Amino acid sequence: MINKWTVELGEQERQFLNQATQINAWDNLLNSNVSKLTALHNMVEEVKLEQAKINCDLDFILTQQKELDACLIPLEKEYTSSIYTNDVQREKMYSMAENIDSKLKRMSEDLKETIDHINETSRSQESIDPVLQIGRILNAHMNSLQWVDEQCSKLQTEFESVDKIHENMKREIDRQYSSYY
Q: Identify whether the C-beta of residue 158 lies closer than 8 Å to the C-beta of residue 96.
A: yes
Say what the pTM is: 0.34
Long-range contacts formed by 91-94: CB under 8 A, 24+ apart: 92/165, 93/162, 93/165, 93/166, 93/169
What is the separation, in whole angstroms, between the first and last Cα of the chain?
133
Mean of per-residue pLDDT scores for the chain: 80
Q: Could you tell me which residues come within 8 angstroms of residue 92 by beta carbon, excluding any fewer than 6 positions away?
A: 165
Choose the weakest-confidence range: 4-8, 56-60, 76-80, 91-95: 76-80
Q: Identify whether the C-beta of residue 68 lies closer than 8 Å to the C-beta of residue 104.
A: yes
Query: What single letter denotes the amino acid at residue 130?
Result: P
Greater confidence, 134 or 63?
A: 63
What pLDDT, in 10s, does the model give residues 76-100? 776 666 655 566 676 777 788 778 7
Q: Is the predicted pLDDT of residue 19 greater than 90, yes or no? A: yes
Q: Is the predicted pLDDT of residue 139 greater than 60, yes or no? A: yes
Confidence band of 27 (pLDDT split at 50, 70, 90): very high
What pLDDT, in 10s, does the model give residues 166-181? 888 888 877 876 765 5
Mean pLDDT, rounded, for 23-39: 92
Q: What percent of the chain has pLDDT over 70?
A: 83
Residue spans of the domains in the chain: they are: 38-180
Q: Is the predicted pLDDT of residue 129 greater than 70, yes or no? A: no
Distance CA 33, CA 10 (A): 34
Q: Nearest 5°: CA angle at 107, between 164 and 72?
A: 35
Which DSSP category does 84 fall into?
A: T
Q: Identify whether the C-beta of residue 118 lies closer than 8 Å to the C-beta of residue 141.
A: yes
What architecture is the 38-180 domain classified under in CATH? Up-down Bundle (1.20)
